[in-house]
Structure 1
Amino acid sequence: MPEPAGALALFAWLSPAFPVGAYAYSHALEWAVEAGDITGEASLAAFLGDLVALGFGRSDGILLAHAHRAAAAGDGAALAEVNGLAVALAPSAELRLETCQQGGSFLGAVRAAWSVPALEALAPALSGEVAYPVAVGLAAGAHGIALAVTLEAFLLATAQNLVSAAVRLAPIGQTAGTRVVAQMAPRVRALAAQIPTLTLDDLGSATFRADLGSFRHETQYTRLFRS
């Protein structure tokens, strides 16, 4: 098995080329475009800002942090508990598929190419469905990658994936999408700095329209994305 890869591994793991299928999901953004909530750069930035700071981005960050700590401590029971909570918190069938399909694919790919003894020792604790932020937290913790840089990279990659979805849905172009990513960076950094102080009791979100949109997306007439 290779030596721990360090923070350099995050460039590969969170790249669009890493085989987790992130391109197939929009986290209800496709429905928001259909409903007219997102019509351009400003509305996309507002929508993503809420999703990250007040919705699943914040919750995923908290779950990632606790999985990272469990991995660093070699605590398989704590890791399994965090994963069970993460899977249960998915507000719809599509969003559960989004996190679990990506989580399982991510863990499988990292174990195939970037495995270390700490990862192999803890992976059996995650039987069945694996939430994506938990898988990332486990891998980063097992490789000894600092939590702070992992959170920043994960949250910005999450925002970038949704901006990519918006570009493909055509309410904005690539240049506008790049500006939105740049606008998200300070918010991501601020959230990443806050998350390590939060407990599992701080989990929660206030993005009700996006959550309801994920239900409506299930029966949307035309769809490019799985969520």
Structure 2
Amino acid sequence: MLMSKKLLLLLQLCNSSLPLGAYSYSEGLETLVEDQHLTDDKSLKNWLLNELKYGSIRIESAIVVRAYQCYLIRDLNGLLYWNNWFTASRETAELRQQSWQMGKSLLKLISSFDSEDEFLQEVINSLKLSGNYSIAFGIITAHWNIKIEDVLLGYLHNWISNLVNVGIKLIPLGQTQGQKLLLSLNEEISKQFESILSLKDEELSSCSWGLSLASIKHEQLYTRLFRS
């Protein structure tokens, strides 16, 4: 029963109905579609595979792990350090604002989930102005004592599911194509989550200049469905 309850809590966090605004961001995909770099399910899959292998999502997921570990040992200074570190790693103002906005929304939700835990409230108060989403996700999953392996798989699947939905709307793809694409990426998610779990602090790096350029250009598009 306990495992089922924790799984349900994780599914709630990863549900698209959670009011965080994730659905309103394309993370550069809208620019790439406009420039015709992404034109079908194959090109979208290639982009997502490269992001999983080399992109900033690896760093973002690794920060979830560090936030999780810091919270378990009640290390507030460690949480603040990794939050600042991750903020500094965001290459564009657009990516930074996305992380802060989603982090602020999740921290607000967390506060309403459990208002009696003193350390949790201290953490939320310390991060409420500029807490990153990855930090907030690590905090709440550690607070609920969900297995870190499940946490990381849920985080990666949630990220990739959101971007597949972006591709369905923009390219456009059919719903069936989108689900097939999502299914085909499961193996790579499984590979990368094991690699991310073992990353040492000095190995936190990524090659994400393509995402950075797409993000910078996004706010200048003539028409947009998604936020910068």
User: TM-score, normalised to structure 1's length?
Assistant: 0.93
- 1:125 and 2:126 aligned: yes
- 1:174 and 2:175 aligned: yes
Give the ranges of 4+ consecutive aligned residues of structure 1 lying more than 3 Å apart after TM superposition: none
Q: Is the 8 A contact 1:156 1:184 kept in 2?
A: no
What does the per-residue CA deviation read over 1:72-95, in whole Å, with 9 as the maximum and x for residues that have no partner? 111000001011111111111111
Listed as ranges, the matches of 1:34-45 within 5 Å are 34-45=34-45
Q: Is the 8 A contact 1:63 1:200 kept in 2?
A: no
Give the Cα separation in 2 of the matches to 1:170 and 1:29: 10
Q: Give the residue type in structure 2 aligned to 1:62.
A: A
Give the Cα separation in 1 of the matches to 2:146 and 2:74: 15
Residue 115 of structure 1: how far off its partner (Å): 5.5
Q: Aligned residue for 1:83?
A: 83
- 1:93 and 2:88 aligned: no
| Residues 197 and 222 of structure 1: CA distance in aligned 2, closer, same or farther (over 3 Å) | same
Give the Cα separation in 2 of the matches to 1:18 and 1:192: 23
Q: Is the 8 A contact 1:74 1:122 kept in 2?
A: no
Q: Is the 8 A contact 1:69 1:141 kept in 2?
A: yes
After superposing the two structures, state which structure 1 stretch, 199-208 or 129-138, moved more: 199-208
Q: Give the residue type in structure 1 aligned to 2:66.
A: H
Cα-Cα RMSD: 1.5
Q: Give the residue type in structure 1 aligned to 2:88.
A: A
Q: Aligned residue for 1:67?
A: 67
Q: Give the residue type in structure 1 aligned to 2:77.
A: A
- 1:146 and 2:147 aligned: yes
Structure 1 unaligned runs (5+)? Answer: none
Residue 56 of structure 1: how far off its partner (Å): 1.9
Q: Is the 8 A contact 2:56 2:207 kept in 1?
A: no
Q: Is the 8 A contact 1:38 1:171 kept in 2?
A: no
Residue 122 of structure 1: how far off its partner (Å): 2.7
Q: Aligned residue for 1:21?
A: 21
Residue 199 of structure 1: how far off its partner (Å): 2.3
Q: Is the 8 A contact 1:33 1:171 kept in 2?
A: no
Q: Is the 8 A contact 2:41 2:177 kept in 1?
A: yes
After superposing the two structures, state which structure 1 stretch, 150-159 or 190-199, moved more: 190-199
Q: Is the 8 A contact 1:25 1:225 kept in 2?
A: yes
What does the per-residue CA deviation read over 1:16-50, in whole Å, with 9 as the maximum and x for residues that have no partner? 10000011101000001011111001000011111
Q: Aligned residue for 2:33?
A: 33
Q: Is the 8 A contact 2:68 2:138 kept in 1?
A: yes
Q: How many residues align?
A: 223
Q: Give the residue type in structure 2 aligned to 1:154.
A: Y
Structure 2 unaligned runs (5+)? Answer: none
